[in-house]
Structure formats: C-alpha cells, structure tokens
Amino acid sequence: MEFDRVVRKRRMVRNYDPDRPVPQEVVDQLLDYAIRAPSAGFSQGWGFLVLETADDRDRFWAATAPAQTTSWLTRMRNAPLIIVPHSNRGVYEARYAEPDKGRPEAPPYWDIDAGFASLLMLLGAVDAGLGACFFGIPAQRVTNYRDAFGVPTAFTPIGAITVGYPAPDLRSPSLKRGRRPVSEVAHRGRWGVSY
Ligand SMILES: Cc1cc2nc3c(=O)[nH]c(=O)nc-3n(C[C@H](O)[C@H](O)[C@H](O)COP(=O)(O)O)c2cc1C
C-alpha cells in the first residue's frame, strides 16, 4: 500500500472478526517493523509480549480489565492478537553510561522509543489489511499484569495493541474533537507565525 494511504487509513480499530486469526507472517512482519524503530543511542530498550492463544488473551483481559464488562471491552476482546510493548529505563541508563555517551543521566527516551515501535506496528497492520488499537493498561493493574505473564519489574508496559481483521465498530467519542489543522499546530520560523 502507498505510504500516504497507510497513514490516512490508520484509525484505532476497536472491534475485530473473532474468527479470522492474524496470519503468522503478519505477526512476524509487525515484530520486524517494531525492531526497526529508531531508539536513543540505539539502546533498543524495549520488549514485546505477543499473545496469540485464547487462553493467553483471556489471561491478559482478566489481569488488566475492570470486572465490569463494557461495550469497549466486548469489542476489544474479539481481537485475535495482542502485542504488549514495554520500555526498560535501565537499558538507557546503562547505555548512556557507556564511554561514547558518558552522561551521568540518561535522557528519558525509553517510553518514546517503545512508542515509535508501537506506531510502526499500527501502520504495519494497516498495510497488511488489518486494523489495530493502541490503548492503556490502568496503572493500578500493571502489577497484576506483570504477575500474570512473568514480566520482570525492569520492563513497564507502555500500553497494549490489539490487532485483527476489522469488524463493525463504534466511533470513538474522542473524534468529536476533530483533527487540529497544520495551520494551528505548525509555526513557520517563529512561534506564533502561522504555517
Ligand atoms: C498514548 C495513547 C493512549 C490511548 N489510549 C487509548 C485507550 O486506553 N483506549 C482507547 O480506546 N483508545 C486509546 N487511544 C486511541 C485514541 O483515542 C485515538 O488515537 C484518538 O482518538 C484518535 O483516533 P484515531 O487514532 O482513530 O485517529 C490511545 C492513543 C494513544 C496514542
């Protein structure tokens, strides 16, 4: 697919065809895109938990979702694939202490880099004809989540990504905000000079 089309077509998809698994080659492709993301100092301090079986996905939702079912949860649970991107601050601290960097403090890029990797997976899903949604794991459920999957405390999930073939969805109420135009967010030469 043309890059322009992939970018414009990408929307968060929150309902999926539960009967169409994500082909293994697409899963592999998404992970291959993820590791091609830029990272500060080429630290690559990320980790991805890939949940493909119904048991593992159930375990994820049981650990992270509130007990009360919502329409959002019912739709998201249809996703045949969940990828949880993690950041690891310690990797950046170690990398920036290396002689070629020699910085007393690592710049806080660990979540940014995991976010870049996540965006590549979101775009990769669209390119493969699928949909995906990046969403948050509530802070008070992160310990539950780590315990459920044996994730070391050095790794923090920056969110999670559902992936699958799109099914009829509800429009997110957030979209009512509308997209802020370039003229409002870009500044030419000096702040406040409209683009
Ligand atoms: C960091 C981040 C966190 C988000 N968290 C959630 C979430 O918890 N639940 C959800 O349904 N969507 C979540 N979204 C999706 C946004 O609501 C969505 O990107 C925004 O409304 C614009 O819609 P679009 O991505 O379809 O263009 C999140 C997006 C980002 C970038």
Encode pLDDT of 31-79 as tens digits: 999 999 999 999 999 999 999 999 999 999 999 998 899 999 999 999 9
Pocket flag, ligand 1, residue 152 (CB < 6 Å) = no
Of 189, 180, 163, which is closest to residue 34 (Cα–Cα)?
163
Q: What percent of the chain has pLDDT over 70?
A: 100
Pocket flag, ligand 1, residue 174 (CB < 6 Å) = yes
Q: Whose CA is nearest to atom 12 of ligand 1?
A: 135
Q: Whose CA is nearest to atom 14 of ligand 1?
A: 135
Of 84, 81, 75, 56, which is closest to residue 16 (Cα–Cα)?
75
**pLDDT score recorded for residue 24:** 98
Residues 6+ apart with CB under 8 A from 36: 120
Pocket flag, ligand 1, residue 136 (CB < 6 Å) = yes
Interval 118-159: pLDDT, tens: 999 999 999 999 999 999 999 999 999 999 999 999 999 999
> Model confidence at 1, in pLDDT bands (50, 70, 90)?
confident
Which helix H or strand E contains 92, and what residues bound it?
helix 89-96
Pocket flag, ligand 1, residue 129 (CB < 6 Å) = no
Interval 181-194: pLDDT, tens: 999 999 999 999 98
Q: Which of 7, 15, 172, 179 to mutate to test the pocket of ligand 1 (most atoms within 8 A of CB)?
A: 172
Q: Are 49 and 121 in contact (CB under 8 A)?
A: no
**pLDDT score recorded for residue 75:** 98
Q: Which of 77, 119, 134, 140 to mutate to test the pocket of ligand 1 (most atoms within 8 A of CB)?
A: 134
Chain-wide mean pLDDT for the chain?
97
